[in-house]
């Protein structure tokens, strides 16, 4: 027998990292800007606790394209690195300086918002560059250094003459990756991944009206007014909002702030959201965010503006499946949690304890919000019901916890535009709409026009008729029938209503015997008896001399 150890050498692991670590080449920019952000946040932390003597100032991150030189520069004014630190953090693949920092400063740094932790992000640069340079000067007195690597495990490290603190990363973009030298492409990536990152990111400059300049209006001798042109100034084009609404306290935000943040998230959405839910929890997991209820259409497929998942203000994905309960994926907004494990498979995610807790926390918060909206302003809630019922009904069907909580706010509208809670509904019908076994019979219609005469007949008897027309309501009825005691649903035009509901009095015929026979014969001719049932004067209303019904079993067969 021979024993041995598998030999993992840098030579063979390096191309693997380069090629397969991330499937998407574009994320290199997210990783490098995350590192620049971390470097700046670390400096902020060290100056705050007095471990660094430099002036923190108002640092920013700059992204610059050098099209001719085929280079992309990412420049920060953060903590920088000494020669030893480059050896340790850069040359040791999979050693995370971010993690080390968090361990070293423990409690004091846990809210610093440091992003990195796998120690692999930097190497994603080699997915798009065949050579990478780092020119960096530490915030300490150590001399600046220049590191160069062409993607092989060999590198060079020498002193440099960089004067200002911070790091510049230079990517020599490889052949085939030239898209990353295009202005439009880089701007697109910055907007996608970095729009809400905490340190200002400059990408080029832009012209704006000088705020300190007021154009003068002069009158000529004919009294004609002319206003001079506004003075323009050139300013940095900052692509991000470093303080997005979800990172603030709900008490510091007004309704209009939530609305304008919605617009910021979805610039192409012109419809206002119905209401929002601000999520904010730090134990047993960390999660912030804002969810919005948009107006729902019946078409569940049309949805491109999805909930976005962030980690420490870095965009991760808009596929929140498994993290947000399925029925809430129809909502919009952001959630930000550093505690969601990434770079792992979806099925693992669903089994993860923290993720399960997050999902049920979100469900609970949404239910609480709906309850308080209902309690605080029922009239307004009723108005919104049609726009939100799909989400609520779907949630009642798919999440047992939500089903229980929904008793407090789920509404059952009648054909007359009244809105009952389930409890109110049963109170309203229990006197009249019970069957022989004292089970309550809830009548419903799905189409007011088509079922008009049946609705009228039922109303004439003093019955309440619900109008239930959403696509999933038949499933919800089944769920209610099995979960609630002593109730059953019956369609207002079902054949057995009159057998079901206990009757006090019988109607007096308004047709003569001769008329009845004639009508009976005529109906037998025109209505196929294998499909429908005909009852003469089945209803004691004045409206209809006869009624055609389809047996309940036939109808269910069709569905």
With contacts defined by CB under 6 A, name the span among 32-40, 125-133, 147-155, 380-388 that binds ligand ADP: 32-40
- Point out which span in 78-86, 222-230, 369-377, 464-472 binds ligand ADP (CB under 6 A): 78-86
245 binds, among ligand ADP, Mg ion, none (CB under 5 to 8 A by kind): none
From candidates 29, 46, 72, 98, binder to ligand ADP by CB under 6 A? 98
Q: Does 121 bind Mg ion (CB under 5 A)?
A: yes
d(CA 153, CA 130): 12
If we measure between CA atoms, which residue out of 482, 472, 464, 460 comes closest to residue 413? 464
Helix (H, G, I), strand (E, B) or coil at 536: strand
119-127, 222-230, 264-272, 334-342 -> range binding ligand ADP (CB under 6 A): 119-127
Tell me if 492 sits within 8 A of 458, measured CB to CB: yes
Strand pairing report for 155-159 and 166-173: unpaired
Q: Which of 331, 350, 341, 240 is nearest to 279 (CA)?
A: 331
Across the strands, what pairs with 236?
Answer: 205
Strands 61-66, 546-549: pairing is unpaired
Among ligand ADP, Mg ion, none, what binds residue 500 when CB lies within 5 to 8 Å by partner kind? Answer: none
* Partner in contact with 240, chosen from Mg ion, ligand ADP, none, beta carbon below 5 to 8 Å by kind: none
Q: How many residues does the chain have?
A: 559
Residue among 120 and 397 whose Cβ is closer to Mg ion: 120
Burial track 209-220 (b if 16+ CB lie within 10 A, e otherwise): eeeeeeeeeeee
Per-residue mark of binding to Mg ion, 509-538 (x: CB under 5 A): ------------------------------
Residue 113 touches Mg ion, criterion: CB under 5 A: no
Query: Residues in contact with Mg ion, total (CB under 5 A)?
Result: 3
CB crowding 349-386: b at 16 or more within 10 Å, else e: beebebbeebbeebbebbbebbbebbeeeeeebeebbe
H/E stretch holding 308: strand 308-311
Other C-beta atoms closer than 10 Å to the C-beta of 32 total 23
Binding status of residue 80 toward Mg ion by CB under 5 A: no
Based on the shown chain and the rule CB under 6 A, indicate whether residue 116 belongs to the binding site for ligand ADP: yes
Q: Give the HSE-up count for residue 320: Cα atoms under 13 Å, Cβ half-sphere.
A: 30
Which residues 37-76 are close enough to bind ligand ADP by CB under 6 A? 38-39, 76
Smallest gap from Cβ 104 to ligand ADP, in A, equals 12
Minimum separation from the CB atom of position 335 to Mg ion (A) = 21
Q: Which stretch binds Mg ion (CB under 5 A): 33-41, 133-141, 208-216, 401-409?
A: 33-41
In 3D space, the residue among 163, 136, 162, 161 whose CA is nearest the CA of residue 147 turns out to be 136
The yes or no reply on residue 117 touching ligand ADP (CB under 6 A) is yes
Binding status of residue 90 toward ligand ADP by CB under 6 A: yes
Please pick, from the candidates 14, 56, 105, 118, the single residue that binds ligand ADP as defined by CB under 6 A: 118
- For residue 113, state whether it binds ligand ADP (rule: CB under 6 A): no
**Interface ranges with ligand ADP (CB under 6 A):** 31, 35-36, 38-39, 76, 78-81, 89-90, 96-98, 116-122, 167
């Amino acid at each position: 027998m021979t024993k041995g150890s598998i030999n993992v050498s840098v030579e063979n692991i390096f191309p693997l990292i380069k090629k397969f670590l991330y499937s998407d080449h574009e994320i290199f920019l997210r990783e490098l800007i995350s590192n620049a952000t971390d470097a700046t946040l670390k400096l902020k932390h060290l100056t705050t606790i007095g471990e660094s003597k430099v002036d923190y100032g108002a640092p920013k991150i700059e992204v610059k394209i050098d099209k001719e030189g085929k280079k992309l520069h990412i420049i920060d004014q953060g903590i920088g690195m000494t020669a030893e630190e480059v050896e340790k953090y850069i040359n040791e693949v999979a050693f995370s300086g971010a993690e080390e920092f968090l361990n070293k400063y423990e409690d004091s740094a846990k809210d610093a918002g440091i992003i990195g932790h796998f120690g692999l992000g930097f190497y994603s640069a080699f997915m798009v560059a065949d050579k990478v340079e780092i020119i960096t000067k530490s915030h300490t007195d150590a001399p600046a250094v220049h590191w160069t690597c062409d993607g092989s495990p060999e590198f060079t490290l020498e002193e440099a003459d960089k004067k200002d603190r911070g790091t510049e990363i230079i990517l020599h973009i490889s052949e085939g990756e030239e898209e990353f030298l295009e202005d439009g492409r880089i701007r697109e990536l910055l907007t996608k991944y970095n729009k809400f990152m905490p340190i200002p990111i400059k990408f080029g400059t832009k012209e704006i009206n000088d705020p300190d300049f007021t154009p003068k209006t002069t009158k000529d001798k004919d009294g004609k007014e002319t206003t001079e042109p506004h003075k323009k100034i050139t300013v940095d084009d900052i692509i991000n909002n470093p303080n997005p609404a979800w990172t603030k306290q709900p008490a510091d935000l007004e309704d209009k702030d939530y609305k304008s943040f919605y617009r910021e998230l979805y610039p192409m959405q012109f419809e206002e959201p119905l209401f929002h839910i601000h999520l904010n929890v730090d134990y047993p997991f960390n999660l912030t965010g804002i969810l919005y209820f948009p107006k729902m259409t019946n078409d569940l497929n049309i949805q491109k503006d999805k909930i976005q998942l962030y980690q420490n203000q870095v965009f991760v994905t808009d596929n929140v499946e498994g993290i947000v309960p399925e029925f809430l994926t129809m909502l919009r907004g952001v959630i930000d949690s550093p505690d969601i494990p990434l770079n792992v498979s979806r099925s693992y995610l669903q089994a993860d304890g923290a993720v399960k807790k997050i999902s049920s926390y979100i469900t609970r918060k949404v239910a609480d919000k709906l309850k308080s909206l209902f309690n605080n302003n029922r009239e307004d809630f009723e108005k919104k019901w049609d726009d939100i019922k799909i989400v609520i009904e779907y949630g009642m069907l798919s999440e047992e916890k939500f089903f229980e909580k929904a008793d407090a706010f789920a509404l059952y509208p009648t054909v007359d535009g009244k809105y009952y809670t389930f409890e109110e509904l049963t109170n309203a019908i229990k006197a009249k709409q019970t069957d022989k076994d004292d089970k309550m019979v809830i009548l419903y219609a799905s189409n007011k026009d088509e079922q008009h005469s049946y609705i009228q007949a039922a109303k004439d008897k003093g019955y309440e008729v619900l109008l239930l027309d959403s696509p999933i309501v038949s499933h919800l009825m089944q769920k209610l029938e099995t979960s609630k005691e002593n109730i059953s649903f019956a369609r207002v035009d079902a054949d057995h209503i009159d057998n079901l509901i206990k009757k006090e009095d019988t109607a007096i015929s308004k047709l003569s015997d001769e008329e009845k026979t004639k009508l009976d014969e005529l109906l037998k001719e025109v209505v196929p008896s294998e499909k429908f049932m005909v009852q003469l004067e089945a209803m004691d209303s004045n409206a209809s001399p006869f009624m055609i019904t389809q047996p309940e079993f036939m109808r269910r067969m069709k569905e």
